């Protein structure tokens, strides 16, 4: 990643981690029905088993035998290594360590959303998607609580990023890594295996068959092992459920007992553990597991005797946190209080205890309402995003994201409103951001025009995704700075407001020297660069043109007659033809070759003037009420040479390339290349024993025979110039190779420029 994207990536990781750490104290007050304490509770159980001896002398409570304290199913449960450590009486990881790992995974997953977004929206919007993930309700609630969901979310995000970016860098390697990530996700949750379907569809629709094969093959090879591990997790879950649920009761009861008797919590847990073991009904694991699945008053029937009263109190607290509605329903039913009291000498007024325990806890209704509203907004945005993708015929992206929502959420048959939405929350957010962005960019008609369109970019490997982010960000920034109303795009994300920069004053603006405003329009903003690059449409595809850049935005004068978009385009197309230029497109661009220009009406062309290549682009907006003009004065490849430098290169490599400018399709040396000839003359005069072969090369434009003849003529022209300067012709020879020895890719403009050269070869 380049500096801009990498900085935002690190910033998102740090910001997400900071927010998650700040929310840790708050999670202990959240109702258990809203957030299930996963790693925290199991880790607490491990410490209880290891340090305080709870269940230590009554291994049957956990379904184990004294001789075999760690059942084989527990070994096959990698999701809870800290519980295994407790059962084996091994040092268990500390709570900060486990929580730190969980927070780190979630923070990196948030930043991965930013990287995925960089592939199809401007960098600032991709960053906004990351910010939305930080405050997404599902992630806020579950990221600190459920390790399995955090791991599954991280692995899915990683797989999607690897697949999307595989079109840019390391195609085969990243696709194979995506398969490994999907396999790991399968070990956490079986539905992870099904995600290879949308991934494969995406790659196949992008005509990346080898990448799809790499992903699916790796996933298929590793799947049996992952599925075996997952089955072990499922089987071992029963063993842990009994220990987990009983430990919840003991820990909660210890708080009540410690307060009532004035003893420490550890001592209270020890006494309760001994009482629970003494009153255990035996090692009937299946019966106890079934009972433990319903945490509440039914569990207490298994524990008559000394521990009943304390466990009743703990059940009140646990039920309040986890089964609040069930408890209130129980207490409100005739005979409900009698059922509770019959299990022991419980509190005389259960309703009073419920009130005391609920004091200070947040409203479940409020939390659910916030989550529902939040999800409704995101789902609406994602629907718009999916429609926009389909409208732009981005079927590969539709297959990836929409199918992923189907395969992950479909089997659970739930609305996307709870913990099962967390793993695909990034998909919903990205679709939502894409939908809002496309609608806003179309509505505001930003001066960046088509460059603000979706950038499911097909960059060359050297560019990378970060380059796409940076270039898209620059185009988007230009658009916002030059907008007619100084638009403020507000994303209320943790109080952030993105404000459009104010346009410069009218008296500071200057016209482009090649093209000016139409009579009824005035220049309202300008963003000129001494050296920059812009992607122009050349009739076949997009080419990167570098040089001096003028970016102008024009608006209709007050009271003037508005021209149509067609009139604006034809005006500049005719102006381009008037100076001998070529119009490459004058209308709406259609087809895959247009890339982000697809569906946009604009003018693009080029001309030669005063020995310079001029590129023009006109994009009308708002039915012709305003338009943007981009002009690039292309600079020819310049070369700073010296006699000593030429000699050093010849001695080191035996040859040196000269970029001498000739008239198009001719062998006439342009005056601006005279300094290069002079330096070659100086080198030859300083080294009278040096003889050279002057060899001409061309790009691949035209036929091979024509290029070979042209390169021969240009080599002879250089020899003639050297002889005219006093160099003995016997020391020189001329050879033309044409297009046979390229040094760069002829499919790009920069590559063709590098191939058009004259080489001096030491004889």
Note the pLDDT tens digit of each residue in 80-92.
Answer: 444 444 444 445 4
Angstrom distance (rounded) from CA 249 to CA 539: 73
Q: What is the pLDDT at residue 569? A: 92
Mean pLDDT score, 129-150: 75
44 sits in which H/E element: helix 39-51
Residue 199's alpha-carbon distances to 126, 391, 429, in angstroms, are 21, 21, 18
DSSP one-letter code for 747: T
Q: What are the structural domain ranges in the chain?
A: 1-278+362-502, 503-634, 643-762
Q: What is the pLDDT at residue 637? A: 54
Out of 206-210, 244-248, 576-580, 693-697, pick the least confident: 244-248
Tally the C-alpha atoms within 13 A of residue 504's C-alpha that lie toward its C-beta. Answer: 12
pLDDT-based confidence at residue 722 (cuts at 50, 70, 90): very high
pLDDT at 305 over 80: no
Instruction: Identify which of 655, 664, 671, 661 has the alpha carbon closest to the alpha carbon of residue 735.
Output: 655
Q: What is the pLDDT at residue 135? A: 81
Concatenating the DSSP letter of every residue in 341-404 gives HTTSS--S-HHHHHHHHHTTPPPHHHHHHHHHHHHHHHHHHHHHHHHHHHHTT-HHHHHHHHHH
pLDDT in tens, 455-501: 333 333 323 333 334 333 334 334 444 343 333 333 333 333 333 33
Out of 441-455, 636-650, 683-697, pick the least confident: 441-455
Q: What is the pLDDT at residue 549? A: 92
Q: What is the pLDDT at residue 521? A: 92
Q: What is the pLDDT at residue 533? A: 85
∠ at Cα 301 (303, 233), nearest 5°? 80
pLDDT-based confidence at residue 507 (cuts at 50, 70, 90): very low
The bridge status of strand 692-697 relative to strand 655-658 is unpaired
pLDDT at 716 over 90: yes
pLDDT-based confidence at residue 328 (cuts at 50, 70, 90): very low
Q: Which residue has the higher pLDDT, 209 or 290?
A: 209
Residues 132 and 151 sit within 8 Å (Cβ to Cβ):
no
Q: What is the pLDDT at residue 262? A: 81
Mean pLDDT score, 664-693: 87
User: Counting Cβ atoms within 10 Å, is residue 494 exposed (0-12), middle (13-18) or buried (19+)?
Assistant: exposed
pLDDT at 67 over 80: no
Tally the C-alpha atoms within 13 A of residue 133's C-alpha that lie toward its C-beta. Answer: 40
pLDDT at 610 over 90: no
Dihedral of CA atoms 508, 513, 518, 519 in degrees, nearest 10, equals 70
Q: How many CB atoms lie within 10 A of CB 763?
A: 11
pLDDT in tens, 170-192: 445 676 777 778 777 777 776 66
CATH H-level, domain 643-762: superfamily: OmpA-like domain (3.30.1330.60)
Q: What is the pLDDT at residue 168? A: 46
DSSP one-letter code for 603: E
Concatenating the DSSP letter of every residue in 426-468 gives HHHHHHHHHHHHHHHHHHHT-TTGGGGS-------TTTHHHHH
Residues 694 and 760 sit within 8 Å (Cβ to Cβ):
yes
pLDDT-based confidence at residue 74 (cuts at 50, 70, 90): very low
- What average pLDDT does the chain have? 66
pLDDT at 410 over 70: no
pLDDT-based confidence at residue 732 (cuts at 50, 70, 90): very high
Residues 280 and 60 sit within 8 Å (Cβ to Cβ):
yes
Instruction: Identify which of 124, 53, 19 has the alpha carbon closest to the alpha carbon of residue 476.
Output: 124
pLDDT-based confidence at residue 631 (cuts at 50, 70, 90): very high
Give the phi and the psi of residue 245 in degrees, each rounded to 5: -65, -40
532 sits in which H/E element: strand 529-537
Residues 374 and 180 sit within 8 Å (Cβ to Cβ):
no
Q: What is the pLDDT at residue 144? A: 62
Concatenating the DSSP letter of every residue in 181-215 gives HHHHHHHH-GGGGGGHHHHHHHHHHTT-HHHHHHH
Residues 291 and 238 sit within 8 Å (Cβ to Cβ):
no
3-state secondary structure 670-690: CHHHHHHHHHHHHHHHHCCCC
Q: What is the pLDDT at residue 627? A: 92
Highest mean pLDDT among 366-380, 526-540, 603-617, 691-705: 691-705
Give the phi and the psi of residue 229 in degrees, each rounded to 5: -60, -40
pLDDT-based confidence at residue 257 (cuts at 50, 70, 90): low
pLDDT at 725 over 50: yes
pLDDT-based confidence at residue 4 (cuts at 50, 70, 90): low
Instruction: Identify which of 501, 484, 526 has the alpha carbon closest to the alpha carbon of residue 631.
Output: 526
DSSP SS3 for 460? coil
pLDDT at 666 over 60: yes
Angstrom distance (rounded) from CA 621 to CA 450: 10
Instruction: Identify which of 510, 490, 512 has the alpha carbon closest to the alpha carbon of residue 499.
Output: 490
Q: Structure tokens of 293?
A: 């699945």
Q: Percent of the chain beyond pLDDT 70?
A: 53
């Amino acid at each position: 990643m380049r500096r801009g994207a990498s900085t935002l990536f690190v910033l998102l990781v740090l910001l997400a981690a900071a927010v998650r750490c700040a929310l840790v104290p708050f999670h202990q007050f959240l109702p258990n029905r809203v957030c299930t304490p996963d790693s925290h509770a199991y880790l607490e159980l491990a410490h209880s088993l290891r340090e305080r001896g709870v269940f230590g002398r009554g291994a049957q409570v956990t379904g184990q035998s004294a001789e075999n304290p760690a059942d084989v199913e527990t070994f096959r449960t990698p999701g809870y290594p800290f519980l295994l450590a407790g059962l084996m009486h091994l040092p268990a990881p500390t709570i900060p360590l486990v929580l730190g790992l969980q927070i780190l995974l979630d923070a990196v997953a948030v930043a991965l959303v930013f990287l995925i977004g960089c592939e199809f929206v401007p960098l600032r919007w991709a960053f906004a998607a990351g910010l939305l993930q930080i405050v997404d309700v599902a992630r806020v609630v579950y990221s600190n609580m459920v390790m399995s969901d955090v791991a599954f979310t991280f692995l899915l995000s990683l797989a999607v990023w690897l697949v999307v970016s595989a079109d840019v860098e390391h195609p085969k390697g990243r696709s194979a890594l995506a398969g490994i990530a999907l396999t790991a996700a399968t070990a956490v949750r079986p539905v992870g295996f099904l995600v290879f379907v949308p991934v494969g569809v995406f790659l196949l629709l992008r005509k990346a068959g080898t990448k799809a094969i790499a992903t699916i093959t790796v996933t298929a090879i590793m799947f049996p092992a992952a599925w075996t591990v997952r089955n072990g997790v499922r089987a071992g879950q029963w063993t842990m459920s009994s220990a987990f649920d009983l430990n919840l009761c003991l820990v909660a009861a210890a708080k009540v007992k410690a307060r009532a008797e004035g003893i420490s919590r550890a001592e209270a847990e020890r006494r309760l553990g001994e009482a629970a073991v003494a009153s255990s009904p035996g090692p009937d694991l299946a019966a106890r597991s079934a009972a433990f699945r319903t945490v509440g008053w039914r569990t207490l029937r298994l524990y008559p005797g000394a521990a009943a009263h304390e466990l009743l109190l703990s059940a009140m607290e646990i039920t309040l946190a986890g089964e609040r509605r069930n408890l209130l329903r129980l207490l409100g039913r005739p005979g409900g209080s009698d059922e509770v009291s019959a299990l022991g000498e419980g509190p005389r007024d259960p309703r009073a205890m419920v009130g005391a325990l609920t004091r200070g806890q947040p409203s479940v209704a409020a939390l659910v309402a916030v989550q529902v509203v939040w999800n409704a907004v995101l789902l609406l945005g994602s629907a718009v995003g999916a429609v926009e993708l389909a409208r732009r015929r981005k079927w590969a992206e539709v297959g990836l994201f929409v199918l992923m929502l189907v395969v992950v959420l479909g089997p659970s048959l739930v609305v996307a409103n709870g913990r099962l939405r967390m793993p695909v929350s990034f998909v919903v957010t990205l679709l939502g951001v894409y939908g809002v962005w496309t609608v806003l960019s179309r509505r505001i008609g930003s001066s960046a025009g088509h460059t603000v369109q979706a950038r499911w970019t097909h960059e060359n490997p050297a560019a990378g995704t970060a380059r796409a982010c940076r270039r898209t960000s620059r185009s988007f920034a230009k658009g916002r700075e030059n907008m007619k109303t100084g638009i403020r795009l507000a994303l209320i994300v943790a109080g952030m407001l993105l404000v459009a920069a104010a346009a410069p004053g009218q008296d500071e603006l200057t016209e482009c020297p090649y093209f000016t405003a139409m009579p009824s329009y005035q220049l309202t903003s300008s963003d000129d660069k001494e050296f920059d690059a812009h992607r122009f449409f050349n009739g076949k595809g997009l080419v990167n043109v570098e040089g001096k850049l003028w970016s102008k935005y024009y608006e209709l004068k007050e009271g003037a007659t508005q021209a149509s978009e067609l009139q604006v385009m034809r005006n500049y197309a005719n102006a381009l033809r008037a100076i001998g230029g070529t119009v490459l497109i004058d209308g709406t661009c259609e087809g895959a070759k247009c890339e982000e220009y697809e569906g946009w009406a604009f003018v693009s062309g080029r001309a030669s003037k005063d020995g310079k290549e001029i590129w023009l682009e006109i994009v009308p907006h708002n039915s012709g009420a305003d338009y943007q003009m981009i002009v690039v004065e292309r600079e020819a490849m310049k070369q700073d040479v010296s006699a000593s430098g030429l000699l050093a290169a010849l001695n080191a490599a035996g040859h040196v390339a000269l970029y001498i400018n000739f008239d198009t399709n001719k062998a006439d040396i342009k005056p601006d290349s005279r300094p290069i000839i002079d330096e070659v003359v100086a080198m030859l005069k300083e080294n009278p024993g040096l003889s050279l072969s002057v060899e001409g090369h061309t790009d691949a434009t035209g036929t091979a025979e024509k290029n070979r003849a042209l390169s021969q003529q240009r080599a002879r022209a250089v020899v003639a110039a050297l002889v005219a300067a006093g160099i003995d012709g016997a020391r020189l020879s001329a050879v033309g190779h044409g297009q046979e020895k390229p040094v760069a890719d002829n499919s790009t403009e920069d590559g063709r420029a590098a191939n058009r050269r004259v080489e001096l070869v030491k004889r």
